[in-house]
Structures are given as structure tokens and as C-alpha cells.
Amino acid sequence: MLHVATRAESLGYDAFFLAEGWGHDASVLLAEVATRTSRIWIGTGVLNVWGRSAAQMAMLATSLHEISHGRFVLGMGAGSPALAEGLHDVPFRAPVLRLAAVVRQVRALLDGERVAPAGGGRGLRLAVGPSPVPIMLAGLGPAAIRVCGEVADSWGPFLFPVSALQDGVQLLEDGAIGRTLPQVCPFIPAAVSPDPAEARALASWWVQFYLTSMGPLYATRLRQLGFAAAVDEVMSGTGHTPEVLLDELTLWGAAAAARQGLERWHAAGTDMPIVTLPPNQSVDELDYILDAFAPAVGPSP
């Protein structure tokens, strides 16, 4: 992870985001990344809202904001039943309401305001003062995307079809009435290899894993967006992933083909695509992906 972060900075990437699932604590690792880098933005991509209280999220954010000298982005999402119930032992109920409530509390604390305790009484504010930390939300469904429009600085969906991106932007606009529209920063799974067969197999793994192992959210949303037949084929257990899902959801192929796929996301209205690296890859394989998508010019201001 440290290698990827420092190499991404040297190649001119704008940001380095670290996911948190059921392994390492992302905030601890990002603290080390912050001390090893000087320019690149760092962020959580993303923290689920079941594993920490709003106050813990805010303290994490303001701490990483200070350690990184103002380079931190707090990415949050509703997660999945597997994370909420299977790891944190918290019922996965009303996820959009939970997401909205946590984000509003975190934002209030980061702005130097007091928490309003549910049971009454006098709330506390953070002792470290206001911290202007940008907040990213990873909404997929219509209600979650509207919440993102209402309260977030950027929208970072994962496994969202490129052809439906403008539908998501419209939902953002519905929620963002009276405020600046959040930036569009989708997390796009990468499956890049000089061997086309290996690239296709990795792209298929991304789709198969998230549709079959992470609860019903991704499959349900893709069906809503017009990909029911392709989703049904994945869920049938044949092991085959229709190419339409690979093209819509991932960046796959050899370097040139994957780079061309990235341009499709820019054309669809993406402000900052976030290339999501696959797990269990060697350093050489990760470097190949980083080189494939390296900015042609220097980092953005």
C-alpha cells in the first residue's frame, strides 16, 4: 500500500484512496501514507457507517487532516449487510437514513458545532477546532445519491454503469438544490494485464464477487438500470460474465484498451475517476496498472 501511494504521487496522480473492509484499519495505514507523501490527496474509499460512531468518524477525519496538512478526504458509505452484521454485529436496517444521519453529525462536528444527544442533555464539540475536511459519499440507489447531493462534496459510487452516470448526476442535482453540485468521482475496478485472457478473467472476478458475495445491493441496482438479463446470467452460477457488464463496470484489457475505457468515463461526466486496484496482485502487476493510467500531464491544481 505504501508503495502504491508513493508511486502514484511520483506519477502525478491526484489522490490515493484506501478501502476498509474486514482487514486493516484504514485510518492507521493512511496516517503512515500521510507521512510518506507530500502532495497527493489521501482518503478513505470508503468507511462504512456501522463500524464507528459519528464522533469517531469526525475525530479520525480531523486527525488525518492535521497529519496530512490538509490533504484528507473522508469517504463514507452505507456498506453492506456482510460488513454491518457479519463483522460489526449491527443490524443492517434503514441504511440510507443511517448514512444521512451520520454524515450530518460528522459535518456538524467538523464545523465546530456540538452534537445533539438523542437522549437530551448538553452535547460536546471536538476539542481541536473546526476542520474543513471534504466528505465523499458512495451512494448507489436513488435515495442515497440524493442524500449525497444534499450533504457531500463528492459522489464516489462503486460498480456503477458508465452509461447510467448521467442518471446519477440528475439525482445529485435533485438533492443539491441551493448548494454546489458534488464532484463525480466513481470508483472503477481495474483489470489490466498484457495478457487479454488474464485481464478478462480479473474483470469477471470483480463483477462475479460483488454481485454474488456482497449482498443484494449491486445486483438489484444493476437490474433497475436495465441490466437484468446480464445480472441473471452472472447469478445463474455458470461462471460466465457478459461482456456488457465488463465494459460498463470495469476498466479491462491491455494498457491501451483500458486507457481508452477510462476516456469513456471522462466523456460521461466524471470529474475524477478513481482507478480501483485489484487485491492479491504482485508489485509488478500493480505498477503495470499504475503506469497504464498515469496522467499524461502533471497533477491537477
Cell (9 digits) for 244: 456488457
CB atoms within 10 A of CB 262: 18
CB atoms within 10 A of CB 88: 15
- Nearest 5°: phi and psi at 191? -140, 80
The CA distance from 125 to 116, in Å, is 10
Q: Please indicate, yes or no, if residue 205 is contained in any of the structural domains.
A: no
Q: How many domains does the chain have?
A: 1
Q: According to the model, what pLDDT value does residue 297 have?
A: 53
Q: Please indicate, yes or no, if residue 182 is contained in any of the structural domains.
A: yes
- Nearest 5°: phi and psi at 4? -60, -45
CATH of the domain at 123: 3.20.20.30
How is residue 50 annotated by DSSP? T
Distance set, CA 288 to CA 96, 275, 296 (Å): 37, 13, 15
The CA distance from 185 to 95, in Å, is 21
Q: According to the model, what pLDDT value does residue 36 have?
A: 97
* Domain housing 126: 2-189+268-293
pLDDT per residue, tens digit, the chain (301 aa), is 999 999 999 999 999 999 998 999 999 999 999 999 999 999 999 999 999 999 999 999 999 999 999 999 999 999 888 889 999 999 999 999 999 999 999 999 999 999 888 888 899 999 998 999 999 999 999 999 999 999 999 999 999 999 999 999 999 999 999 999 999 999 999 999 999 999 999 999 999 999 998 889 999 999 999 999 999 999 998 989 999 999 999 999 999 999 999 999 999 999 999 999 999 999 999 999 999 999 975 555 4
Q: According to the model, what pLDDT value does residue 50 have?
A: 95
Candidates 229, 195, 199, 235; CA nearest to 214 is: 235
Distance set, CA 221 to CA 172, 215, 249, 255 (Å): 16, 11, 13, 29
Q: Please indicate, yes or no, if residue 223 is contained in any of the structural domains.
A: no
How is residue 74 annotated by DSSP? E
Q: Please indicate, yes or no, if residue 226 is contained in any of the structural domains.
A: no
Cell (9 digits) for 92: 443492517
Q: Please indicate, yes or no, if residue 72 is contained in any of the structural domains.
A: yes
**Gyration radius of the chain's alpha carbons:** 19
Q: Beta strand 47-48 with 72-77: parallel, antiparallel or unpaired?
A: parallel
The CA distance from 233 to 246, in Å, is 13
CB atoms within 10 A of CB 197: 8
Q: Please indicate, yes or no, if residue 210 is contained in any of the structural domains.
A: no
Q: Please indicate, yes or no, if residue 224 is contained in any of the structural domains.
A: no
Q: Please indicate, yes or no, if residue 169 is contained in any of the structural domains.
A: yes
